[in-house]
Amino acid sequence: MKTQLFKPLGISVLFTLFLVACVQNETKKEVEKEEVTEKVAPAKIAAPQPSPATTIKQVVGLTNITLNYSRPGMKGRTIFGNLVPFDKVWRTGANANTTIEFDTEITLGETTVPAGKYAIYTKPGKDSWEVMLYSKTDNWGTPQTWDDALVVAKTTAKSEQMPMPVESFMMVFDELTNSAGVLGILWENTYVGVPFTVPTDKTVMASIATVMKGNPNEKAFYDAAVYYLAENKDINQAVEWIDKAVEMGKNDPKYWMLRQQSLIHTKAGKKETAIAAAKQSLELAKKVGNADYVKMNENSLKEWGAM
Question: What is the number of other CB atoms lying within 10 angstroms of the CB of residue 70?
Answer: 20
For 79, the domain range is 53-197
Q: Please name the amino acid found at residue 293.
A: Y
Cα–Cα distance for residue pair 168/188, rounded to 1 Å: 8
Q: Does 193 lie in the same domain as 58?
A: yes
Helix or strand holding residue 118 (H, E): strand 116-123
Helix or strand holding residue 60 (H, E): strand 53-60
Q: Does 205 lie in the same domain as 267?
A: yes
Q: pLDDT per residue over 72-90, tens digit each?
A: 999 999 999 999 999 999 9
Within a domain: residue 9? no
Q: What is the mean pLDDT of residues 117-128?
A: 98
Cα–Cα distance for residue pair 273/294, rounded to 1 Å: 18
Within a domain: residue 37? no
pLDDT at 14 over 90: no
Q: CATH code at 238? A: 1.25.40.10
Of 240, 276, 239, 277, nearest in space to 257 by CA? 277
- The 3-state DSSP class for residue 198 equals coil
Q: Does 186 lie in the same domain as 108?
A: yes
Of 201, 195, 178, 199, nearest in space to 110 by CA? 195
Q: Please name the amino acid found at residue 64.
A: N
The reported pLDDT for the residue numbered 22 is: 52
Q: Does 174 lie in the same domain as 274?
A: no
21-25, 49-53, 140-144: least confident range: 21-25
Number of domain units in the chain? 2
Cα–Cα distance for residue pair 262/271, rounded to 1 Å: 8
The reported pLDDT for the residue numbered 119 is: 98
Of the two residues 27 and 164, the one the predictor is more confident about is 164
Cα–Cα distance for residue pair 304/266, rounded to 1 Å: 9
Within a domain: residue 29? no
- pTM value? 0.79
Residue 294 · residue 286 · CB < 8 Å: yes
Q: Please name the amino acid found at residue 115.
A: A
Q: pLDDT per residue over 284-306, tens digit each?
A: 999 999 999 999 999 999 999 99
35-44, 110-119, 151-160, 264-273: least confident range: 35-44
Of 192, 197, 71, nearest in space to 129 by CA? 192
Of the two residues 227 and 9, the one the predictor is more confident about is 227
The reported pLDDT for the residue numbered 49 is: 87
The reported pLDDT for the residue numbered 35 is: 52
Of 180, 197, 214, the one marking the end of a domain is 197
Q: Does 251 lie in the same domain as 269?
A: yes
Q: Does 230 lie in the same domain as 121?
A: no
